[in-house]
A and B are shown apart, each in its own frame.
Chain A
Amino acid sequence: MEISFRDLMTVFHGMGFGALFMLAFSAALAELYRMSAPGAASVPTIREHNLLLLYLSVMVVLAWGAVLSGAYIVYPWYRAVVPEGVTDLADYPKFLLTSSPKTSAWHSLGMEWKEHVAWLAPIAMTMVAYVFAKYGPALAKQKQIRTAVIGFAVVAFVATGVAGAFGAFLNKYAPVRGGAMIEIIAGEQEGQ
């Protein structure tokens, strides 16, 4: 069982950062709402507050990790220019997609939307984590701030969903491949 270096980096970008960030959203939104809702059943303890703050901080790291690894590690491989004389576009995903009208929109809509909208998520989540750190349960008394925090968090979730979904489709139609092969597990050849 082996994987190319570029495939592995794409997995870290999409699954290691992006998917974990997506998975963390539902719990974060539910906890943010529960802890700061007016008339909450119980006052959160310091431990509960610190735990959610840590959770949100990890989400911020994942969000920045996803966009930075995408923009500076995976994207340069995706948009690499085809050298003169090369006719096999398998290692040049952007040009592979744009070479056919049946696939060009995966780039012109999918990648061009994904590469920009994804950046809204870390900006929004950094704000959300900061505001929670600053106000905590006192958010229940700050209705407008609470509305903004939850609204921005929902938009961050949608932006990440768009980026993640297009990322998965793009990797299906024009995967980023190449680089050294890394052997994960040495397999056995099945008998004839």
Chain B
Amino acid sequence: MANITPIRTKEVPNGPGAAAILAAGIGSAAMGIFALAGDAFTSLNHFFTFYKPTGGLSGVSTSAVVVWLVAWFILSRRWGEKNVEMVKVVSVSFALLAVGVLLTFPPVMDLIQGK
């Protein structure tokens, strides 16, 4: 019979997981908010044009990724060794994810802008 080594599960605080989950929610919401802002305001679309051939999408996506990583870094530093209230963190993360999904959907973008 093969020698199977089961994994020993040590107690890891929930803080690092909470930080990663909330940061993913923040990054998703940032993507939706920046996409809407770039679509609604021509000046912001120009600002988001980091790479001309890709247009505003280059800045919208890069900015959202930067917001996500910065949020993850800050939250990890604060919660790295702690246990946090996960129900709240997960609820807020799902709400932020929903914001990201909704604001990237063109009919919702148009509705908000009154188009």
Contact = CB atoms under 8 A, between A and B. Distances in A.
Interface of A: 43-46, 49, 67, 71-72, 75-76, 79-80, 108-109, 112-113, 115-117, 119-120, 123-124, 126-127, 130-131, 134-138, 141-142, 144-145, 147-149, 151-152, 155, 159
B86 interface: yes
14 contacts: A43-B6, A44-B7, A71-B61, A75-B53, A109-B106, A116-B61, A130-B20, A134-B20, A138-B11, A145-B17, A145-B90, A148-B21, A148-B94, A151-B94
Given A76-B53, A151-B94, A123 B65 contact: yes
A152 B24 contact: yes
Interface string B74-115: 000000000000110110011001001100111101000000
Contact of B106 (A72, A112, A134): A112
A67 B6 contact: no
B43 interface: no
Binding site secondary structure of chain B: helix
A104 B12 CA distance: 52
B54 to A, nearest CB: 5
Given A80-B53, A155-B97, 16 more contacts: A43-B6, A46-B6, A72-B53, A75-B53, A75-B54, A108-B106, A119-B65, A120-B100, A123-B65, A124-B24, A127-B23, A131-B17, A142-B86, A145-B18, A145-B86, A149-B21
Nearest to B4: A45
Given A49-B7, A117-B105, A123 B28 contact: yes
A79 B7 contact: no
Nearest to B26: A123
Nearest to A64: B65
Contact of B28 (A76, A124, A145, A147): A124
B17 to A, nearest CB: 4
A164 B74 CA distance: 33
A155 B101 contact: yes
